[in-house]
Structure 1
Amino acid sequence: MSVNRPVVMSIAGFDPSGGAGILADIKTFEQHKVYGLGVLTANTIQSDKDVREVQWIPVLQIKEQIKLLMENWNLEWFKIGIVESSDVLQEVLLFILQHNPNAKIVWDPVLRSSSGFPFFKADHSIASLLKHITVLTPNLPEFEFLIGSDEEAVKLSQYTMIYLKGGHRENAQLGQDWLYWKGVKHILEPQVLGTTKHGSGCVLSSAICANLALNIPPISAFKKSKQYIEKVLNSNPSLLGWHT
């Protein structure tokens, strides 16, 4: 393994179309010149347009995958995608931190697919879990479910960076994202607007994970990640973006 590339881990679902989930994460990592390891949380039966079924991986198997890889690589950065429930999320978070208390975790909270298929079951409040997460990348419905308000986001941002994607907000400029960090809300304007893409949230969050793993300062890392997803969104007119 080259010492010139950070090694990061994606903990996510398998999307056969390659547009989202672990395949999209690995493509994004490779384009950013970080080496990606992959741990499966689910196998999905889906296309770029429709999710038919999700077969969840038992949490014990998820942790066994993580454990073996952490025994072989000095991992600092992790990206988490779909998980079955808040209980599974809690087990995975605490398991990672037990093995590396300095681990930094990006969570893309995929609560449901764009076609409406539910992915995440909240068994209890996860407010306390958010403090274990380095970066949270919700869209507006996920932001409202997990955090609730702009004021709460400002408070939480003292220890968790929150990147609110702008695609679902009606009263804001299209493509404008908000970053809450250290009690301040930063506005990130789009450079170009693109077409809708399946898995764009996965790509953005894994780009953020990669750029931060490269020790790029946070504001610059978020801007670079936004530029990357805009490039993918404009790569072609289909629902599947190209990583080039």
Structure 2
Amino acid sequence: MVVMSIAGVDPSAGAGIYADLKTFQAHGVYGCGVVTALTAQNPYKVFSLSPVDKNYVSEQIDAVLDAYNIKYVKTGMLYSSEIIKLVSKKITEYDLKAVVDPVMVATSGGDLTKSDLANALNKYLLPKSILTTPNIAEAEKLTNLNIKSKEDAIKSTEKLPCNSLITGGHLDGINTMNINGEITIKKQELLESNNLHGTGCNLSSAIVANLEKGNSLINSCLKSFDYVYEAIKNGNYGTLIAKL
């Protein structure tokens, strides 16, 4: 069982590819990682960002898929419309099933992308994806809608060009899923914690791992909510082995 993350590097390892690989391992699947950008950041601040040339991103993808038969992939921070276009082409070329975490802003508030990212995601990548997992701020950028309630979140999922899961960390714990046109609401208790850096990365990578293990899309989402909840509660993603 092999899956892949296409995302940026967070040297503090709470988010990005390092976090994805830990989550893959916790679920018992082997993870490969294609780097789109380097960042200097920690859970509290983004210092700087250095994107990887798109041609080198392409070569990394080709190198991994030359060796492994991969079906499921997640994307995180892609940084630019050029890299988004490239990844969307690779999804078609290799017939990949992609879960897109549309990372635009770090948990600490730092901008991690160019300004035209939302349009490029909607035009090129999301229509080729099986799921996107935006938080409230990201969903607002993707849909140009304000989300202040469960009803707003439902309306936003209907505007996104693929199955969607809008996370509820900033909406009283209300997670809103629209999968194959069916709305599912999963409300979770909000935990007071300073261990929230990278929760979106860990959620999307857990979904990919659960899909690779043969779970349906909706069950993969539900199992992944539980994984992330327990990780926040226990304060450590790296040592939490998923009992799923």
Shorter-chain TM range is 0.7 to 0.9
Cα RMSD over matched residues?
A: 1.8
Structure-2 change in CA distance of 1:110 and 1:229 (3 Å): same
Question: 1:57 corresponds to which residue?
Answer: 52
Q: Does 1:117 align with 2:110?
A: yes
Q: 1:108 aligns with which of 90, 97, 101?
A: 101
What is the SS of the residue equivalent to 2:234? coil
Q: Distance in 1 between matches of 2:237 and 2:160?
A: 33
Alpha-carbon deviation of 1:194? 5.2
Report if the CA contact (8 A) 2:178-2:184 is conserved.
yes
Q: Distance in 2 between matches of 1:49 and 1:151?
A: 32
Alpha-carbon deviation of 1:202? 0.5
What is the SS of the residue equivalent to 2:31? strand
What is the one-letter code of the residue matched to 1:180? N
Q: Distance in 2 between matches of 1:128 and 1:56?
A: 21
What is the SS of the residue equivalent to 1:43? strand
- The correspondence of residues 1-244 of structure 1 with structure 2, limited to 5 A, is 6-98=1-93, 100-101=94-95, 103-123=96-116, 125-126=119-120, 127-129=122-124, 130-149=126-145, 150-151=154-155, 153-154=157-158, 156=160, 160-169=162-171, 174-190=172-188, 193=191, 195-196=193-194, 197-236=196-235, 241-244=237-240
What is the one-letter code of the residue matched to 1:189? K
Q: Distance in 2 between matches of 1:106 and 1:179?
A: 14
Structure-2 change in CA distance of 1:54 and 1:214 (3 Å): same
Q: Distance in 2 between matches of 1:181 and 1:52?
A: 37
Pairs aligned (count): 228
Q: Distance in 1 between matches of 2:129 and 2:144?
A: 17
Deviates more, 1:192-201 or 1:10-19: 192-201
What is the one-letter code of the residue matched to 1:50? K
Q: Distance in 2 between matches of 1:40 and 1:243?
A: 24
State, as a whole percentage, how many aligned pairs show the same letter.
36
Q: Distance in 2 between matches of 1:204 and 1:62?
A: 23
Q: In proportion to residue count, which structure has more helix?
A: 2
What is the one-letter code of the residue matched to 2:179? W
Alpha-carbon deviation of 1:128? 2.7
Alpha-carbon deviation of 1:189? 2.1
Report if the CA contact (8 A) 2:99-2:129 is conserved.
yes
What is the SS of the residue equivalent to 1:203? helix
Q: Distance in 1 between matches of 2:75 and 2:239?
A: 20
Q: TM (normalized to structure 2)?
A: 0.87
Q: Distance in 2 between matches of 1:192 and 1:141?
A: 17
What is the one-letter code of the residue matched to 1:41? T
* Residue segments in structure 1 that go unaligned for 5+ positions in a row: 1-5
Structure-2 change in CA distance of 1:227 and 1:16 (3 Å): same
Alpha-carbon deviation of 1:49? 1.1
Report if the CA contact (8 A) 2:43-2:107 is conserved.
no
